[in-house]
A = this chain, B = another copy of it.
Amino acid sequence: MKVKLRNPDREVETSGNRKVRDILRELDLDPDTVLVIRDRELLMREDHVTEGDLVEIRPVISGGAIKCRRCGGAAVVEIRRHNAAFCRGCFLHHVREQVKRAIKAYAMFGPEDRVLVAVSGGKDSLGLWDVLLNLGYRVTGLYLGLGIGQYSHGSAEVARRFAEDRRATLLEVDLAQTYGFDVPTAGRRGSRSTCAVCGLSKRYVFNRAALEHGFDVVATGHNLDDEAATLLGNTLRWQTEYIARQFPVLPAAEGMVRKVKPLHRLSELETAAYAFLRRIDYVVEECPLVAGNTQLRYKGAMNGLEAGSPGTKAQFFLGYLDRGAPLFRSEERAKLRECERCGQPTTGRFCAFCRARAQILGERLGPPPADREVAVELSEEVLPAEIYGGAMP
């Protein structure tokens, strides 16, 4: 197999059927700083490349032949959807401007607010923390220990070092110590998928910790790619209530602290390039439990469309905020009340976290609530009866 490197222009031979991630490791390339392209299609880290494929590795951080749009100096980062390139300094400025613009446009928080950043140890959350510290906000990190073996140990280490280097405060919560289960256990027991119960636990713990420690707002590192993929998934199923709630700011409500996504205007490549250029040591590995995750399929579909037409992701998500969201306002969730177990807000008797936890730990919560969530798989939703509108012919 030939691997063509665009800049510098050299070809590398490898053999056999291999994963993109392994080829990049061998070439000592950071997967977050390059586009890997075969036949005008972007490849993901888990994709396979076989004998006979010609693969182009196109650096996001290029050699400097292109000029910075802002200062005219040698550019190091190219952003196709903006048809622009920037030098290091102007790129960092660009990222900060995008974050400032997002904070201002949605009145996310002000200089007096106490902001809690949800820290995973990846490029997005550490990059966000870094930008917010740099802009002078009052920011504290919160790391949630999920108990995913070496992956979690590494993430915690990285988060601690980041905080130490910057003399920032890092709070830590361990899911197993505090709530009696870890994510791998939750994935094996209970009815939810691993990713579903992990997401649920994060939302719950971050909200609860923010309330208990008196924070005004929780900021998460969701980037444009995350938001576009989530919106695609919600739209493919026309989950109008979820679509209505997918917004860069969710206002505070009874028992719910305000949630904000200051990176929603920046692509995954931009946040990766930011972390790289700021020399942030972050966890590059994907979570080992994420394989086959539907979110990754949606990202794959969006990447395919973006490759054919740069700007598709931004147009989809920012276009939704501009023209789509107003149409979904009426679909927002019903009134919240207090969970009878933990007091956190919920639409039913017990919140989803307490229900999941009881299921995982084999406890009883009392009679099952009437509105129990059912995990509906995509392929189950078109049932025979639905095809024929009732009885079979």
Contact A384 B82, CB 8 Å, known A50-B53, A393-B93: yes
Determine the residue in chain B with the shortest Cβ distance to A319. Answer: B238
**In the assembled complex, which residues on chain B have CB atoms less than 8 Å from the CB atom of A324?**
238, 240
- CB A189 to nearest CB in B, in angstroms, measures 25
A288 to chain B, nearest CB (A): 20
CB-CB < 8 A to A316: which residues of B? 235-238
Task: Say which residue of B48, B93, B235, B382 sits within 8 Å of A81 (CB atoms).
Answer: B382
Contacts of A319 in B (CB 8 A): 236-238
Residues A378 and B84 in contact in the complex (CB < 8 Å), given A17-B52, A53-B52, A316-B238: no
A223 to chain B, nearest CB (A): 16
- Contact present for A392 and B315 (CB under 8 Å): no
For the complex, what is the distance from the CA of A339 to the CA of B70, rounded to whole Å? 48
A238-B320, A327-B327 given; 19 more Cβ-contact pairs under 8 Å: A51-B51, A52-B52, A70-B392, A84-B384, A93-B393, A97-B393, A236-B315, A236-B316, A237-B316, A240-B327, A294-B308, A297-B304, A297-B309, A301-B301, A311-B379, A314-B382, A315-B382, A327-B328, A327-B331
Residues of B within 8 A of A39 (CB): 47-48
Smallest Cβ distance from A26 to chain B, in angstroms?
19
**CB within 8 Å of B: which of A304-323?**
304-305, 308-312, 314-316, 319-320, 322-323
Answer whether A378 and B309 are a contact pair too, CB < 8 Å, given A52-B53, A53-B52. yes
How far is the CB of A108 from the nearest CB of chain B, in Å? Answer: 16
Q: Which of A36-87 touch B at CB < 8 Å?
A: 39, 47-48, 50-53, 69-70, 81-84
> Hey, which chain B residues are within 8 Å of A387, CB to CB?
82, 84, 98
Q: Mark A313-351, 1 if CB is under 8 A from B, else 0.
A: 011100110111001101100000000000000000000
Q: Which residue of B lies closest to A300 (CB)?
A: B304
Q: Indicate if A101 sits at the interface (CB-CB under 8 A).
A: yes
Chain B residue at smallest Cβ distance from A298: B305
Interface residues of A in 259-305 (CB under 8 A from B): 294, 297-298, 300-301, 304-305
Q: Does chain B have a CB within 8 A of A363?
A: no
> Is B301 in contact with A297, judged by CB distance below 8 angstroms?
no
| Residue numbers in B under 8 Å from A8 (CB-CB) | none
Which of B98, B304, B379 meets A309, CB within 8 Å?
Answer: B379
B48 adjacent to A51 (CB under 8 Å): no
Q: List 10 A-B contacts (CB under 8 A).
A: A50-B53, A70-B392, A236-B315, A236-B319, A294-B309, A297-B305, A298-B305, A301-B301, A314-B382, A327-B330
Provide the bound-state CA to CA distance between A382 and B39, in Å.
25
B323 touches A238 (CB 8 A): yes
Interface residue A366 (Cβ < 8 Å from any Cβ of B) = no
